[in-house]
Structure 1
Protein backbone atom coordinates (compact mmCIF):
# COMPACT_ATOMS: atom_id res chain seq x y z
CA UNK A 1 0.00 0.00 0.00
CA UNK A 2 1.43 3.38 -1.03
CA UNK A 3 0.87 5.93 1.74
CA UNK A 4 1.56 8.79 -0.70
CA UNK A 5 -0.43 7.87 -3.82
CA UNK A 6 0.55 9.89 -6.86
CA UNK A 7 4.10 10.58 -5.62
CA UNK A 8 5.67 7.79 -7.65
CA UNK A 9 8.12 9.23 -10.12
CA UNK A 10 7.66 12.78 -8.84
CA UNK A 11 11.32 13.72 -9.29
CA UNK A 12 11.50 13.17 -13.08
CA UNK A 13 8.18 15.05 -13.44
CA UNK A 14 9.43 17.90 -11.28
CA UNK A 15 12.67 18.15 -13.25
CA UNK A 16 10.91 18.00 -16.64
CA UNK A 17 8.42 20.70 -15.66
CA UNK A 18 11.16 22.88 -14.16
CA UNK A 19 13.19 22.67 -17.37
CA UNK A 20 10.08 23.48 -19.43
CA UNK A 21 9.16 26.56 -17.36
CA UNK A 22 12.36 28.01 -15.85
CA UNK A 23 15.13 29.71 -17.85
CA UNK A 24 18.71 30.44 -16.70
CA UNK A 25 17.68 34.09 -16.23
CA UNK A 26 14.88 33.23 -13.77
CA UNK A 27 15.05 33.44 -9.98
CA UNK A 28 13.26 30.75 -7.96
CA UNK A 29 12.60 30.63 -4.21
CA UNK A 30 12.35 27.16 -2.67
CA UNK A 31 10.15 27.54 0.40
CA UNK A 32 11.86 24.98 2.64
CA UNK A 33 12.11 21.23 3.18
CA UNK A 34 14.70 21.15 0.40
CA UNK A 35 16.59 18.06 1.57
CA UNK A 36 15.98 15.23 4.02
CA UNK A 37 19.70 15.25 4.90
CA UNK A 38 20.58 15.43 8.57
CA UNK A 39 23.77 17.47 8.08
CA UNK A 40 25.03 19.94 5.49
CA UNK A 41 27.55 17.59 3.88
CA UNK A 42 24.80 15.04 3.19
CA UNK A 43 22.87 17.58 1.08
CA UNK A 44 25.34 17.27 -1.81
CA UNK A 45 23.25 14.91 -3.96
CA UNK A 46 20.08 16.96 -3.48
CA UNK A 47 21.88 20.24 -4.07
CA UNK A 48 23.64 18.84 -7.14
CA UNK A 49 20.24 18.12 -8.69
CA UNK A 50 18.99 21.62 -7.83
CA UNK A 51 22.24 23.13 -9.12
CA UNK A 52 21.74 21.32 -12.45
CA UNK A 53 18.39 23.03 -12.98
CA UNK A 54 18.17 26.41 -14.73
CA UNK A 55 17.90 29.66 -12.77
CA UNK A 56 19.16 31.16 -9.56
CA UNK A 57 17.72 29.33 -6.56
CA UNK A 58 17.16 30.90 -3.13
CA UNK A 59 16.61 28.48 -0.23
CA UNK A 60 14.41 29.14 2.80
CA UNK A 61 14.55 27.04 5.93
CA UNK A 62 11.77 24.49 6.36
CA UNK A 63 10.82 22.47 9.41
CA UNK A 64 12.54 19.35 7.96
CA UNK A 65 15.79 21.06 6.93
CA UNK A 66 17.84 19.55 9.77
CA UNK A 67 21.01 20.25 7.77
CA UNK A 68 20.44 24.02 8.15
CA UNK A 69 23.24 25.72 10.06
CA UNK A 70 24.57 29.29 10.09
CA UNK A 71 24.35 31.39 6.95
CA UNK A 72 28.12 31.78 6.96
CA UNK A 73 28.70 28.00 7.06
CA UNK A 74 26.08 27.35 4.40
CA UNK A 75 27.45 30.05 2.08
CA UNK A 76 30.97 28.65 2.52
CA UNK A 77 29.72 25.10 1.83
CA UNK A 78 27.81 26.18 -1.30
CA UNK A 79 30.85 28.03 -2.68
CA UNK A 80 33.29 25.19 -1.88
CA UNK A 81 30.94 22.66 -3.49
CA UNK A 82 30.52 24.70 -6.67
CA UNK A 83 26.81 25.30 -6.05
CA UNK A 84 26.92 28.80 -7.50
CA UNK A 85 23.22 29.02 -8.37
CA UNK A 86 22.10 28.21 -4.80
CA UNK A 87 21.77 30.99 -2.23
CA UNK A 88 20.43 31.28 1.30
CA UNK A 89 17.43 33.56 1.96
CA UNK A 90 17.79 34.23 5.68
CA UNK A 91 17.94 37.67 7.35
CA UNK A 92 18.65 39.15 3.90
CA UNK A 93 16.93 40.00 0.63
CA UNK A 94 17.46 39.07 -3.00
CA UNK A 95 17.01 42.08 -5.29
CA UNK A 96 15.83 41.30 -8.81
CA UNK A 97 15.23 44.49 -10.78
CA UNK A 98 12.76 46.60 -8.80
CA UNK A 99 11.64 43.65 -6.67
CA UNK A 100 13.02 42.38 -3.37
CA UNK A 101 12.52 38.74 -2.42
CA UNK A 102 12.43 38.48 1.37
CA UNK A 103 11.58 35.75 3.80
CA UNK A 104 12.03 33.41 6.71
CA UNK A 105 10.68 30.09 7.91
CA UNK A 106 7.90 31.51 10.08
CA UNK A 107 6.23 29.40 12.74
CA UNK A 108 2.88 27.62 13.21
CA UNK A 109 0.50 30.27 14.53
CA UNK A 110 -1.33 27.79 16.74
CA UNK A 111 1.76 26.94 18.85
CA UNK A 112 0.72 28.93 21.93
CA UNK A 113 3.23 27.39 24.33
CA UNK A 114 5.87 29.74 25.75
CA UNK A 115 8.52 28.22 23.46
CA UNK A 116 6.21 28.69 20.46
CA UNK A 117 5.67 32.35 21.33
CA UNK A 118 9.43 32.86 21.63
CA UNK A 119 10.04 31.19 18.26
CA UNK A 120 7.26 33.21 16.60
CA UNK A 121 8.79 36.45 17.92
CA UNK A 122 12.19 35.36 16.58
CA UNK A 123 10.74 34.58 13.15
CA UNK A 124 8.89 37.92 13.06
CA UNK A 125 12.25 39.59 13.80
CA UNK A 126 13.92 37.64 11.00
CA UNK A 127 11.17 38.62 8.57
CA UNK A 128 11.62 42.26 9.62
CA UNK A 129 15.41 42.02 9.04
CA UNK A 130 14.83 40.53 5.59
CA UNK A 131 12.37 43.27 4.66
CA UNK A 132 14.72 45.93 6.03
CA UNK A 133 17.52 44.47 3.89
CA UNK A 134 15.33 45.24 0.87
CA UNK A 135 15.81 48.94 1.58
CA UNK A 136 13.63 51.17 -0.53
CA UNK A 137 13.14 48.61 -3.29
CA UNK A 138 9.66 49.52 -4.59
CA UNK A 139 8.16 46.00 -4.59
CA UNK A 140 8.70 43.52 -1.78
CA UNK A 141 7.55 39.91 -2.02
CA UNK A 142 7.64 37.74 1.10
CA UNK A 143 8.30 34.01 1.21
CA UNK A 144 7.65 31.83 4.26
CA UNK A 145 7.78 28.13 4.90
CA UNK A 146 4.69 28.13 7.13
CA UNK A 147 1.55 29.86 5.85
CA UNK A 148 0.93 33.10 7.80
CA UNK A 149 -2.86 32.89 7.34
CA UNK A 150 -5.31 30.01 7.52
CA UNK A 151 -9.08 30.17 7.19
CA UNK A 152 -10.25 31.89 10.37
CA UNK A 153 -6.78 32.33 11.93
CA UNK A 154 -3.38 33.90 11.35
CA UNK A 155 0.13 34.35 12.68
CA UNK A 156 -0.56 37.86 13.98
CA UNK A 157 3.10 38.76 14.54
CA UNK A 158 4.08 37.87 10.97
CA UNK A 159 1.02 39.51 9.41
CA UNK A 160 1.82 42.72 11.32
CA UNK A 161 5.36 42.77 9.89
CA UNK A 162 4.06 42.11 6.37
CA UNK A 163 1.60 45.00 6.74
CA UNK A 164 4.25 47.28 8.28
CA UNK A 165 6.36 46.94 5.13
CA UNK A 166 3.45 47.11 2.69
CA UNK A 167 3.91 43.55 1.43
CA UNK A 168 1.00 42.62 -0.83
CA UNK A 169 2.33 39.26 -2.05
CA UNK A 170 3.32 36.39 0.23
CA UNK A 171 4.07 32.86 -0.92
CA UNK A 172 4.65 29.85 1.30
CA UNK A 173 5.20 26.12 1.43
CA UNK A 174 4.38 23.55 4.13
CA UNK A 175 1.07 22.59 2.60
CA UNK A 176 -0.48 19.29 3.53
CA UNK A 177 -3.22 17.99 1.31
Structure 2
Protein backbone atom coordinates (compact mmCIF):
# COMPACT_ATOMS: atom_id res chain seq x y z
CA UNK A 1 0.00 0.00 0.00
CA UNK A 2 1.13 3.50 -0.88
CA UNK A 3 -0.40 6.67 0.58
CA UNK A 4 -1.23 9.67 -1.61
CA UNK A 5 -2.87 13.02 -0.94
CA UNK A 6 -4.77 15.61 -2.95
CA UNK A 7 -7.20 18.22 -1.64
CA UNK A 8 -9.58 20.94 -2.78
CA UNK A 9 -11.19 18.93 -5.57
CA UNK A 10 -13.98 21.55 -5.79
CA UNK A 11 -16.30 19.26 -7.73
CA UNK A 12 -19.71 20.45 -8.98
CA UNK A 13 -21.26 17.91 -11.34
CA UNK A 14 -24.89 18.49 -10.27
CA UNK A 15 -24.74 22.28 -10.43
CA UNK A 16 -21.60 23.14 -12.42
CA UNK A 17 -19.40 25.89 -11.04
CA UNK A 18 -16.52 26.37 -13.50
CA UNK A 19 -13.23 26.79 -11.69
CA UNK A 20 -11.35 28.29 -14.64
CA UNK A 21 -12.37 31.74 -13.38
CA UNK A 22 -9.48 31.16 -10.96
CA UNK A 23 -7.03 30.44 -13.80
CA UNK A 24 -6.77 28.57 -17.07
CA UNK A 25 -5.05 25.70 -15.26
CA UNK A 26 -8.43 24.83 -13.71
CA UNK A 27 -10.03 24.12 -17.10
CA UNK A 28 -11.60 20.62 -17.03
CA UNK A 29 -9.84 19.93 -13.74
CA UNK A 30 -11.96 16.86 -12.75
CA UNK A 31 -10.71 15.06 -15.85
CA UNK A 32 -7.12 16.10 -15.09
CA UNK A 33 -7.45 14.67 -11.59
CA UNK A 34 -9.07 11.46 -12.84
CA UNK A 35 -6.41 10.89 -15.47
CA UNK A 36 -3.49 11.44 -13.07
CA UNK A 37 -5.21 9.34 -10.37
CA UNK A 38 -5.68 6.36 -12.69
CA UNK A 39 -2.04 6.56 -13.78
CA UNK A 40 -0.62 6.22 -10.27
CA UNK A 41 -3.13 4.83 -7.76
CA UNK A 42 -4.25 1.21 -7.36
CA UNK A 43 -7.04 -0.40 -5.36
CA UNK A 44 -4.54 -1.23 -2.60
CA UNK A 45 -3.54 2.41 -2.05
CA UNK A 46 -4.88 5.05 0.34
CA UNK A 47 -5.68 8.63 -0.69
CA UNK A 48 -6.04 11.48 1.82
CA UNK A 49 -8.43 14.26 0.73
CA UNK A 50 -8.25 17.23 3.14
CA UNK A 51 -11.46 19.07 2.39
CA UNK A 52 -13.23 21.35 -0.08
CA UNK A 53 -14.51 18.29 -1.89
CA UNK A 54 -17.73 19.61 -3.43
CA UNK A 55 -19.49 22.93 -4.02
CA UNK A 56 -22.85 21.22 -3.36
CA UNK A 57 -25.22 22.71 -0.78
CA UNK A 58 -26.68 19.39 0.40
CA UNK A 59 -25.99 15.65 0.27
CA UNK A 60 -28.33 15.00 -2.65
CA UNK A 61 -26.57 17.61 -4.76
CA UNK A 62 -23.18 16.22 -3.69
CA UNK A 63 -24.05 12.69 -4.81
CA UNK A 64 -22.49 12.91 -8.32
CA UNK A 65 -19.31 14.35 -6.82
CA UNK A 66 -19.11 11.59 -4.20
CA UNK A 67 -19.81 8.98 -6.89
CA UNK A 68 -16.92 10.39 -8.95
CA UNK A 69 -14.59 9.85 -5.98
CA UNK A 70 -16.01 6.40 -5.21
CA UNK A 71 -15.36 5.22 -8.76
CA UNK A 72 -11.67 6.05 -8.53
CA UNK A 73 -9.36 3.25 -7.30
CA UNK A 74 -8.10 3.02 -3.75
CA UNK A 75 -9.44 3.73 -0.29
CA UNK A 76 -10.09 7.40 0.44
CA UNK A 77 -10.13 9.35 3.70
CA UNK A 78 -11.80 12.76 3.68
CA UNK A 79 -12.29 15.69 6.03
CA UNK A 80 -14.53 18.73 5.80
CA UNK A 81 -13.29 21.96 4.25
CA UNK A 82 -14.71 25.45 4.67
CA UNK A 83 -16.70 25.15 1.40
CA UNK A 84 -18.21 21.72 2.09
CA UNK A 85 -21.68 23.06 2.90
CA UNK A 86 -23.22 19.70 1.92
CA UNK A 87 -21.54 18.07 4.94
CA UNK A 88 -24.27 18.02 7.61
CA UNK A 89 -23.73 15.64 10.53
CA UNK A 90 -20.88 13.16 10.30
CA UNK A 91 -23.31 10.25 10.87
CA UNK A 92 -25.42 11.28 7.85
CA UNK A 93 -22.32 11.71 5.73
CA UNK A 94 -20.98 8.28 6.67
CA UNK A 95 -24.29 6.61 5.84
CA UNK A 96 -24.30 8.24 2.40
CA UNK A 97 -20.77 7.24 1.39
CA UNK A 98 -19.48 4.35 -0.66
CA UNK A 99 -17.54 1.76 1.42
CA UNK A 100 -14.31 2.92 -0.24
CA UNK A 101 -14.61 6.33 1.46
CA UNK A 102 -14.05 7.11 5.15
CA UNK A 103 -14.41 10.47 6.87
CA UNK A 104 -12.80 11.83 10.01
CA UNK A 105 -14.25 14.26 12.53
CA UNK A 106 -12.87 14.48 16.08
CA UNK A 107 -11.47 10.94 15.70
CA UNK A 108 -8.74 9.08 13.82
CA UNK A 109 -8.16 6.14 11.51
CA UNK A 110 -5.67 3.33 12.12
CA UNK A 111 -3.86 2.55 8.87
CA UNK A 112 -1.18 0.09 9.99
CA UNK A 113 -0.10 -1.36 13.33
CA UNK A 114 1.77 1.83 14.19
CA UNK A 115 0.45 4.53 11.81
CA UNK A 116 -2.75 6.46 12.53
CA UNK A 117 -4.31 9.33 10.56
CA UNK A 118 -5.68 12.18 12.71
CA UNK A 119 -7.50 15.23 11.40
CA UNK A 120 -9.22 18.56 11.98
CA UNK A 121 -10.57 21.22 9.67
CA UNK A 122 -8.47 23.96 11.25
CA UNK A 123 -8.96 27.68 10.72
CA UNK A 124 -7.06 30.88 10.02
CA UNK A 125 -4.41 31.51 12.68
CA UNK A 126 -3.77 34.74 14.60
CA UNK A 127 -1.70 37.14 12.52
CA UNK A 128 -3.42 36.05 9.31
CA UNK A 129 -4.81 38.74 7.03
CA UNK A 130 -8.26 39.88 8.29
CA UNK A 131 -8.10 37.66 11.43
CA UNK A 132 -10.58 39.06 13.99
CA UNK A 133 -12.28 38.11 17.27
CA UNK A 134 -14.92 36.04 15.47
CA UNK A 135 -12.09 34.06 13.89
CA UNK A 136 -10.50 33.60 17.32
CA UNK A 137 -13.55 31.72 18.63
CA UNK A 138 -13.51 29.25 15.72
CA UNK A 139 -9.71 29.01 15.79
CA UNK A 140 -9.67 28.03 19.48
CA UNK A 141 -12.43 25.47 18.90
CA UNK A 142 -10.49 23.91 16.01
CA UNK A 143 -7.28 23.74 18.07
CA UNK A 144 -9.30 21.78 20.63
CA UNK A 145 -10.69 19.49 17.94
CA UNK A 146 -7.20 18.76 16.66
CA UNK A 147 -6.19 17.74 20.18
CA UNK A 148 -9.28 15.49 20.43
CA UNK A 149 -8.30 13.71 17.23
CA UNK A 150 -4.68 13.30 18.31
CA UNK A 151 -5.76 11.93 21.69
CA UNK A 152 -7.98 9.45 19.84
CA UNK A 153 -4.98 8.40 17.74
CA UNK A 154 -2.88 7.79 20.84
CA UNK A 155 -5.66 5.66 22.34
CA UNK A 156 -5.49 3.53 19.19
CA UNK A 157 -1.84 2.80 19.97
CA UNK A 158 -0.29 5.19 17.47
CA UNK A 159 3.46 5.55 17.59
CA UNK A 160 3.40 7.42 14.27
CA UNK A 161 0.74 9.98 13.38
CA UNK A 162 -0.02 11.77 10.13
CA UNK A 163 -2.38 14.73 10.37
CA UNK A 164 -4.86 16.06 7.82
CA UNK A 165 -5.92 19.69 8.10
CA UNK A 166 -7.89 21.74 5.63
CA UNK A 167 -6.37 25.07 6.62
CA UNK A 168 -2.61 25.55 6.99
CA UNK A 169 -1.48 25.21 10.63
CA UNK A 170 -0.02 28.72 10.78
CA UNK A 171 -0.36 32.12 9.16
CA UNK A 172 1.37 33.26 5.97
CA UNK A 173 4.32 34.50 8.05
CA UNK A 174 4.75 31.04 9.60
CA UNK A 175 4.41 32.41 13.12
CA UNK A 176 3.67 30.31 16.19
CA UNK A 177 0.09 29.04 16.51
CA UNK A 178 -2.03 26.80 18.71
CA UNK A 179 -2.07 24.19 15.93
CA UNK A 180 1.73 24.03 15.80
CA UNK A 181 1.92 23.89 19.60
CA UNK A 182 -0.48 20.92 19.72
CA UNK A 183 1.21 19.07 16.86
CA UNK A 184 4.56 19.19 18.65
CA UNK A 185 3.08 17.40 21.67
CA UNK A 186 2.43 14.16 19.75
CA UNK A 187 4.47 11.74 17.58
CA UNK A 188 3.39 13.53 14.40
CA UNK A 189 5.48 12.79 11.31
CA UNK A 190 3.56 14.54 8.55
CA UNK A 191 0.94 17.25 8.20
CA UNK A 192 -0.93 17.59 4.90
CA UNK A 193 -3.28 20.47 4.20
CA UNK A 194 -4.98 22.41 1.40
CA UNK A 195 -7.03 25.61 1.21
CA UNK A 196 -4.34 27.80 -0.39
CA UNK A 197 -4.82 28.61 -4.07
CA UNK A 198 -3.09 30.62 -6.74
CA UNK A 199 0.41 32.03 -6.78
CA UNK A 200 -0.29 34.37 -3.87
CA UNK A 201 -1.67 31.60 -1.66
CA UNK A 202 1.00 29.10 -2.61
CA UNK A 203 3.72 31.64 -1.84
CA UNK A 204 2.73 31.60 1.85
CA UNK A 205 2.64 27.81 2.18
CA UNK A 206 4.48 26.04 4.99
CA UNK A 207 6.49 23.29 3.31
CA UNK A 208 9.38 21.02 4.29
CA UNK A 209 10.53 19.82 7.71
CA UNK A 210 10.04 22.04 10.75
CA UNK A 211 10.69 20.83 14.30
CA UNK A 212 10.88 17.27 12.99
CA UNK A 213 7.48 17.38 11.24
CA UNK A 214 7.12 17.30 7.45
CA UNK A 215 4.52 19.72 6.04
CA UNK A 216 2.88 19.32 2.63
CA UNK A 217 0.47 21.62 0.79
CA UNK A 218 -1.72 19.34 -1.34
CA UNK A 219 -4.30 21.72 -2.85
CA UNK A 220 -4.90 20.24 -6.29
CA UNK A 221 -3.81 23.32 -8.26
CA UNK A 222 -0.54 23.38 -6.28
CA UNK A 223 0.03 19.75 -7.31
CA UNK A 224 -0.96 20.40 -10.92
CA UNK A 225 -3.98 18.14 -10.24
CA UNK A 226 -1.77 15.09 -9.63
CA UNK A 227 -2.00 13.22 -6.28
CA UNK A 228 1.18 13.53 -4.21
CA UNK A 229 2.79 10.23 -3.22
CA UNK A 230 3.73 10.40 0.47
CA UNK A 231 5.23 6.92 0.88
* Same fold by TM-score greater than 0.5: yes
* Pairwise CA RMSD: 1.6
Match of 2:191 in 1: 170
1:75 aligns with 2:91: no
Question: For the residues of structure 2 that align with 1:114 and 1:70, how far apart are their CA atoms?
Answer: 26
8 Å Cα contact 1:108/1:155 also seen in 2:
no
User: Structure 1 residue 90 and structure 2 residue 111: aligned?
Assistant: no
Matches within 5 A, 1:1-177: 3=21, 4-78=23-97, 83-97=98-112, 98-109=114-125, 110=128, 112-135=131-154, 136-154=157-175, 156-177=177-198
Q: CA deviation at 1:151?
A: 4.8
Instruction: Return 5+ residue gaps in structure 2 as ranges.
Output: 1-19, 199-231
Map of 2:210 onto structure 1: none
Equivalent position SS for 2:26: coil
What stretches of structure 1 of length at least 5 have no aligned partner? none
Quote the Cα distance in structure 1 between the aligned partners of 2:142 and 2:85.
17
What do residues 118-171 of structure 1 show as CA deviations (whole Å, max 9, x unaligned)?
A: 111111111111111112311101111111134523461111110111323111
Q: How many residues align?
A: 172
Task: Check the 8 A contact 1:15/1:53 in 2, yes or no.
Answer: yes
The structure richer in helix per residue is: 1
The TM-score normalised by the length of structure 1 is 0.90
CA distance in 2, matches of 1:14, 1:8: 11
